[in-house]
Amino acid sequence: MLERLVYRSKGAGSIGNLSLFNLLSQARVRNAQLNITGHLIFDGEFFTQWIEGPSESLDALWSSLLKDQRHTEVMLISRVPAKERRFPLWTMAFSSYSSLNSYNIPGFFPVDKQSVTEEVKRLTDATD
């Protein structure tokens, strides 16, 4: 069954630009294997992530995320069945401030503070 999951977490104090992009590249490799797509937003302090894929894949990723020390205060916002994917083209799209855009990574969407707030709201308020 296709499901989607949204959570928020707090970046560990030590997380820097380069480790973020490493995290993202590795995440995309694993997501491709797990048939997971989604969107990660980082506002400099908090992560919001939308993950969609088969239930078993979500279970596997969720248990990895819960033990990952690169973030804390991991809080599940919603996990519900999904009719279709919202981010079918992205093994993990990533939005953050343009100051992070130094590694030329594909699927990085530089956004300003207001857009981050709006995107986070869109993901966390979604009911479908």
Instruction: Kindly list the residues in this chain that would bind ligand FMN in the complex (CB under 6 A).
Output: 9, 23, 27, 30-31, 40, 47, 49, 61, 64-65, 68, 70-71, 92
At 51, list the tokens: 């993950």
Least distance in angstroms from the C-beta of 86 to ligand FMN: 14
Least distance in angstroms from the C-beta of 108 to ligand FMN: 14
Least distance in angstroms from the C-beta of 28 to ligand FMN: 7
For residues 74 and 9, what is the distance between their CA atoms, to the nearest angstrom?
Answer: 4
At 99, list the tokens: 């100051």
Task: Return the ∠ at Cα 45 (arms to 41 and 47), rounded to 5°.
Answer: 30
At 108, list the tokens: 């990085």
Query: Based on CB atoms, which residue is closest to ligand FMN, 4 or 71?
Result: 71
